[in-house]
Structure 1
Amino acid sequence: MKRKIFYGWWLVVIALLINAFTSSPVFGGVGVWVDSLEQEFGWSRTQLSIAFSVGQLEASVMGPIIGMLVDRIGSRKVVFIGISIIGVGFVLLSLVSTIWMFYLAFAVLMIGASAGGWLPMMTAINNWFDKRRSIAMGFGGLGFSVGSFLLVPALAWVVNPNHYGWQSTSLTLGLFFIVCAYPVSTLIRNIPEDYGEVPDGIGYLNTNQTGNTIVETQTYDPSYKMKDILKMPAFWIISICHGMSTMLIGTMTVHLILALKDQGISVQTGAWIWGFTLGFSGLCQIFGGWIGDKVPKNLALC
């Protein structure tokens, strides 16, 4: 009898696609949107960059709240809410005529992107895997890299006034996300036990006194509370290091395409360069996931 594919791996593919479509137009394509709005309204890059800076701060504040929602209502519902909010954000972006409207639209987009992609999907993958967790999360988290590699150059083409324009593009994206929110969320399964499966698709077989075969899975002692974690130096070291790397990526996300444009390189070519950069980072992410399953995590981080 042919063994079916463990649903956790389907969840990895779903996570990759969701992350690609939710993060690339919002995060990866920021430089493209900034250039379009700069050309349309004459706003300075400082004014436009403020939206991204505040949005990043907003995402940091929303992180614990979204995490709490994932724990309470599950990844499926949080992703549905997040993708719907992204849709509303893009519709608002299509209506922008003042800088304050842009700030509002981008704030909504950042809330939606925070709730509709990486955090809830990585939580779901974490629930479905144990021994293969690092490589699964590595592939599932590829969405930003793969999506930006493919979609940012496409976004740069369609927002061009000679093609589709930024307003029509943002409206189309908004309607796309609103329509897709529910059917996409139904593909997400929060924990394997609800579907008669176990992490990694492998349990420990045992026979009870009646002779029936039962499956024993690893159990985890949730002894760590939030207050305990906040007291751990390792938590703060990881958080600070991750924050510093995110700051670098965030700076390049906003300014690289624009900086290349100032050097005489077209926005379209700049989008390809940025896309290839993120695509290469995706390859490194896969390697990091493989290493994380082979050696202790502290050594992998080194």
Structure 2
Amino acid sequence: MKSTKVKYNFGNQGTFMIVYSAVLVYFMTGLTVDGLNIIVPGFAALKGWDANQLLSIATPASVAALILTSFWSIVIRKWGLKLSTTIALFAAAVSIILFAQSVNILMYGITETLMITFINCFSVIGGYAMIANWFPKKKGIVLGFTTMGMNVASATIPALLTAFSKIFDPNGNITHALYIFASILFLVGIFNQLLIKASPEDAGCFPDNEREELGHVDLPEGTPGSKERMNYLQALLNPRIWLLGLAYGLTGMGTVGIMSQMIPYLSSNRGFTIQAALMTMSVAALIGVLGSYLWGIVDQKWGTKFATQIYGIWYAAAIAMLIAPGGQMTLYLGIVMIGLGIGGNANFAPSMTTLCYGRSDFATAFSLVNMIHGVIRSAAFLVLGLVRGATGSTETAYLIFIVMSVLGTVVISFVNVKHVKNVEA
């Protein structure tokens, strides 16, 4: 297997775009996955609703949202990447406000769907498309840095939601926290429209910050002079897109399932206090900052396909350690392994899509890859809700996630990349 040298010469503007994309995915992970640790019990306490029912709603809401998100590439083609990202940021802010004002379960489900839709549109579609535009060759290590935003979200957003909930009410009110995050996203939308350059060409720079690469990479999708190749229907009928979605969906089930309910698991099943569980999750997420970087190196040096295969086995072993009956030692080993792994799956899906489809087709291809793997990944909420409700055992659901992670490793092995330029394997 060929090893590729990892290059860090991103340039000042390129580095800024990496940080900005990390901020976008920070909100995605924090508000649609990790934040459920606080949002679900917060609404249950505020409204008197059943927490398991609210958790189960996250699956159909996420499925519907990801189907809607898959059409966002059409908006990008019509309005451009920058404006479409700004629109999504504003729409996400409005959706969060409506979500906070939910008066019944139906409104909760509908507004949660809208919130997840637009958050995904500005982050994993808009943000990752910008990364594909700026770094088509250095995607592995760059995404390793970008997905650190997800790990920071896991470490901070549950705590921020808790703190923001108590700003105007000492007893805590989840709506206060949601209003604050909506206001932040509105400000980010203004910042995006005024200051962001969606491609290096717009900023007078070169892809990968390397002048010699300019003639070897296609122009960003939707830019003047770009070659329009794959449309939505063609992407929908492309078998490799479905393989990518399936592989990353299966490995992603464990990531979402573990991180969305780590605090309740540690407090209810392993004897942690709520404060200790919150701290443990934050520590695991901070370990994940290092993990994102390390998986980015593996991706850049040995290829995304190989990195994904290793990751699937790693995360299955991590879950096994978490639930193993070996006492505190295996529990903490599992937490460290999960911490190192949580950024990996988010790195690989956009990295592999960039490898296979390039800049000109990334937004179209990834909108569908993201939908497929997101729908499968979101089934983790349904598994948790149904299995825990039927058996009272969280560990049983976690065993299912182990199997899914291994299956994801098997599926990615069938993705053919030998015909791709700069083939990695």
Fold agreement, TM-score > 0.5:
yes
The within-5 A match list for 1:1-302 is: 5-159=11-165, 162=170, 164-204=172-212, 217-220=215-218, 234-263=240-269, 265-302=272-309
Distance 1:284 1:71, change over 3 A: farther
1:207 aligns with none
Counterpart amino acid of residue 196 in structure 2:
I
Per-residue CA shift, 1:236-290, capped at 9, x if unaligned? 3322121012222232344332333434544443333333333333322211211
How much does 1:36 deviate?
A: 1.1
CA contact 2:30–2:154 (8 Å) conserved in 1: yes
Deviation at 1:228, TM superposition (A): 6.4
In the TM superposition, what is the alpha-carbon distance from 1:234 to its structure 2 partner?
A: 4.4
Deviation for aligned residue 1:60: 2.6
- How many residues are matched? 290
Quote the offset at 1:127 in angstroms.
Answer: 0.8
- Pairwise CA distance, 1:147: 1.9
Tell me the SS of whatever aligns to 1:33: helix
Gaps of 5+ in 1: 205-214
Q: 1:103 to 1:6 in 2, by over 3 A?
A: same
Letter in 1 for 2:245: S
Q: Is the 8 A contact 2:136 2:217 kept in 1?
A: no
- What is the TM-score normalised by the length of structure 1? 0.83
Q: Conserved in 1, the CA contact under 8 Å of 2:140 and 2:304?
A: no
Distance change >3 Å, CA 250–CA 300, structure 1 → 2: closer
TM-superposed CA distance for 1:293, in Å, is: 1.8
Give the secondary-structure state (helix, strand or coil) at the position aligned to 1:126.
Answer: helix
| Residue identity in the other structure for 2:29 | S
Q: Structure 1 residues 271, 108: closer, same or farther in 2, change over 3 A?
A: farther
Q: 1:64 to 1:16 in 2, by over 3 A?
A: same
Measure how far apart 1:229 and its partner are. 5.8
> How far, CA to CA, are the matches of 2:229 and 2:185 in structure 1?
39
Deviations 1:179-217, CA, capped at 9 Å, x for gaps = 33212343321222233221012213xxxxxxxxxx953
Query: Which amino acid in structure 1 is aligned with residue 216 of structure 2?
Result: Q
Change (3 A) 1:46 1:122: same
CA distance in 1, matches of 2:159, 2:120: 23
Q: What is the aligned partner in structure 2 of residue 208 from structure 1?
A: none
The two structures, once aligned, show a CA RMSD in angstroms of 2.8
Structure 1 residues 274 and 62, CA gap change in structure 2 (3 angstroms): farther
For 1:83 and 1:94, the matched residues in 2 are separated by 17
Q: SS state of the match for residue 102, structure 2? A: coil
| Secondary structure in 2 matching 1:193 | coil
The 1-side partners of 2:165 and 2:177 are apart by 6
Q: Deviations 1:7-53 (Å, cap 9, x if unpaired)?
A: 22210011112221343133221121111112222322232013211
> Kindly tell me: are residues 224 and 86 of structure 1, through their superposed partners in 2, closer, same or farther at Cα, counting changes over 3 Å?
closer
Structure-2 separation of matches of 1:6 and 1:72: 30
Contact 1:138 1:286 in 2 (8 A): yes
User: Deviations for 1:77-122, whole angstroms, at most 9, x for unmatched residues?
Assistant: 2221222122112212332232222112212211121112122111
Q: Please, which moves more after superposition, 266-275 or 39-48?
A: 266-275
Counterparts of 2:92 and 2:229, CA distance in 1: 36
- Give 1:223 deviation, angstroms: 6.2
Which whole-Å CA distance do the structure 2 matches of 1:124 and 1:248 have between them? 27
Q: Check whether the contact 2:141–2:299 (CA below 8 A) recurs between aligned residues.
A: yes
- Check 1:296–1:144 CA distance in 2 against 1; reply closer, same or farther (3 A cut): closer
Unaligned runs of 5+ in 2: 1-8, 219-226, 310-425
SS at the partner of 1:192?
coil
